[in-house]
Amino acid sequence: MEELNGTVEVAAAWVRGGTSKCWIFAAEAVDAAPLALETLLENALGAGDARQIDGVGGATSTTSKIAVVARSEHAEADVDYLFGQVGIADRVVEWGSNCGNCATAVGLYAVQEGLVPLDAEQTTVRLRNVNTGAILSTSVPTPGGRAPERGDAHVPGVASGGIPVDLTFEGPFTRDRAFPTGRASEAVQAGGRAAEATIVSAGAPALLLDAAGLGLTGAEGIAELAERVPMLTPFRAEGAVLHGIIARGEPAPNAVPKTGVVGPARDYVASDGTAVAAGEYDVSVRMLSMHAPHPAIGLTSAVAVAVAAATPGTVVARYLPADARTVRIGTASGVVEASWTTAPDGTVEAVSLHRAARRLATAVLHVPTAGALAAAGREAPAEGAQHRPAAAPLAVPA
């Protein structure tokens, strides 16, 4: 790949999936770049600056995301994708989680890029998240066997429409796998406080805290929840220990566990000014994302909430009837619905959500190289460093 004026050119697509924006790179494009993968992504998005002013990141947790995509060699998947949460003020890429909104974007991208054959009406793309090994499927309308370019499907938190994409997280989410401590709920102590919580690992590792025990409702606005982040941060660190992500005393990663507060349905006003009545949803949920309130809810978090909703004794299930197969989640941006299927023994087999996606740009990024970074007094990568050889199967960087 030619280096020009201290930069290297890398092709990418910018796709909105649900309530996130994700830069998507073909695996061969990042393989060809003369930079280590993490350095390439940090430089491309402008990590290390809270404004990300010298990159294409959006300076929020929902807009500083990437996916590297390749055709899959896995028997259960058509496409592999490696998801990265790129730091904003910090120069870091976290690989420890998945992102359902970016998976929605990857499903549309795979259809538009011809990575899968198109069916006459609806094309299903089986995805494998390389970070976690999770298998997902997306369903995209392809009338006449053609890839769609626009649509008018809407999701809470986004005013404009997009192409409808159905997203399913495949299980089974068995009790022993989904609840790492073996309990549906338990008392968790952190920062000198105690709260009832559900430790659930489905979609992503999550810590769901009973709002009332923290003096909250679960229906707080974004600004009010932001004031409570210092109180909730120690709980996130304790949740990382309970999930087995870190040993006690080690620093917790920024992206996981997903942490939120859960409470009963009540009237509230969404962030766009829309009034939401208590009767329109089942449970209030407010999640954190990278040390800040999430503007809606990440889809991996929604899967965790759904699996908790389907399991008696959790801090979510108490707000639903025992025979529920759908949970309507009241988020700061509006109501998000997740449904699930179960086996005869009650095991959740799959969780599905309805999303929308739209390609925002097809671009060539001019990414600073080692020379440009050194001139600016910033950390430079090792010459020619690569996390994996060209054309190798996708893998989580070491």
Specify the 3-state DSSP secondary structure of 288.
strand
- What pLDDT does residue 89 have? 94
Secondary structure of residue 200 in the 3-state scheme: strand
The token pair at 355 is 């999303």
How confident is the model at residue 290, as a pLDDT? Answer: 83
Q: How far is CA 280 from CA 273, 284, 327, in A?
A: 16, 11, 11
DSSP single-letter state for residue 97: -
Contacts of 135 (CB under 8 A, 6+ apart): 76, 77, 126, 127, 128, 129, 170
pTM listed for this prediction: 0.90
Q: 100-112 and 299-309 are packed helices; what angle lies between their axes, rounded to 10 degrees?
A: 120
* Tens-place pLDDT, residues 164-176: 999 999 999 999 9
Q: What is the pLDDT of residue 254?
A: 83
Which token pair is 364? 């060539």
Say if residues 254 and 290 touch (Cβ distance below 8 Å): yes
Return averaged pLDDT per consecutive 10 residues of the chain, 398 residues in all: 76 97 97 95 97 97 97 97 96 93 98 98 98 96 97 94 98 96 97 97 96 97 96 96 95 90 98 97 95 93 98 97 97 98 96 98 94 47 41 76
Q: Encode pLDDT of 52-74 as tens digits.
A: 999 999 999 999 999 999 999 99
Peptide bond into 257 cis (omega under 30): yes
What pLDDT, on the 0 to 100 scale, is given for residue 393? Answer: 75
- Confidence at residue 26, expressed as pLDDT on a 0 to 100 scale: 98
Element (H, E) at 336: strand 334-342
Q: Identify the pLDDT of residue 3.
A: 57
